[in-house]
Amino acid sequence: MPRHDPVSMPVGGRIAVGVSGGGSNLRALAAAAVRGELGGEFVLVFADRACPALDWAEGQGIETILVPGGDDEVLASALRAVAPDVVVLAGYLRILGPHVLAAFPGRVLNVHPSLLPAFPGLHAAGDALAAGVAVTGVTVHLVDATLDGGPIVAQEAVDVLPGDDEDTLLARIHPVEHRLLPRAVTALLAGAIDVPSGARRATVDRVAVDAAAPVPRRALLSVSDKAGLAELG
């Protein structure tokens, strides 16, 4: 994968996003782009089935394509036509085939609702509940030919609380996904992700990511005596 000088990172990096469902991760990516934190723009949203996420993208005026069943050759040629720098699987519930993977080596990210390698597959939250674990979480990883098995880019734990069901657990997992995925996309666009030979975990150059797309730091002040606030500001 080409590494970019973070200072000259293309703020207009080209991003293709795959979806199959509700599209909350797609909307989180779009929100990060609007805030100027993503370092890129959408050139294509693709789906393997009709879904709300695809409808939302169409409504936003983003170029979309429905590839029924996620046909590998059709998808590879649709993606090549828009030449994305990064392909993001944001709730795309299908394994990519060899044509797509060969066209974008090291440039495909996936978000998964567990701490991989625990609970790969389509039912990660339910599987975590069934296993009785106290902690699960979110993983963003580079995609290879394995099922949810590519090099890990980012992970964050989420507690499983007594009485959780799939809905309540996923309701706490999603906000973590919405924070980790855009940052990983920024990092990949910035050339800040590297996978040492044979490693299962990618390294992320956080200084390069911050240089590429600084996240504004905000503080909330609440005071009863407002004297001097103007000077502080």
| Binding footprint of ligand GRF on the chain (CB under 6 A) | 21-25, 53, 90-91, 111-113, 177
- Output the smallest distance, CB 219 to ligand GRF, in A: 30
112 is catalytic: yes
- The catalytic position among 112, 141, 174, 178 is 112
Contacts of 108 (CB under 8 A, 6+ apart): 86, 87, 88, 89, 96, 100, 101, 142, 143
CA distances from 58 to 25, 45, 54, 55, 76 (A): 16, 9, 6, 5, 20
Report the residue number, 9 or 101, with the smaller CB distance to ligand GRF.
101
- Output the smallest distance, CB 55 to ligand GRF, in A: 12
Query: Is there a contact between 170 and 138 (Cβ–Cβ < 8 Å)?
Result: no
- Rounded-to-integer distance, Cα 135 and Cα 173, Å: 11
Query: Is there a contact between 153 and 99 (Cβ–Cβ < 8 Å)?
Result: no
- Output the smallest distance, CB 24 to ligand GRF, in A: 3
Distance of CA 91 to the CA centre of its chain: 9
H-helix or E-strand spanning residue 206 = helix 206-212
Report the residue number, 39 or 113, with the smaller CB distance to ligand GRF.
113
Determine the residue with CB nearest ligand GRF.
Answer: 91
- Output the smallest distance, CB 180 to ligand GRF, in A: 10
Report the residue number, 27 or 99, with the smaller CB distance to ligand GRF.
27
Query: Is there a contact between 14 and 48 (Cβ–Cβ < 8 Å)?
Result: no
Report the residue number, 45 or 187, with the smaller CB distance to ligand GRF.
45
Verify cis geometry, omega within 30 degrees of 0, for the bond prior to 214. no
Q: Which residues are catalytic?
A: 112
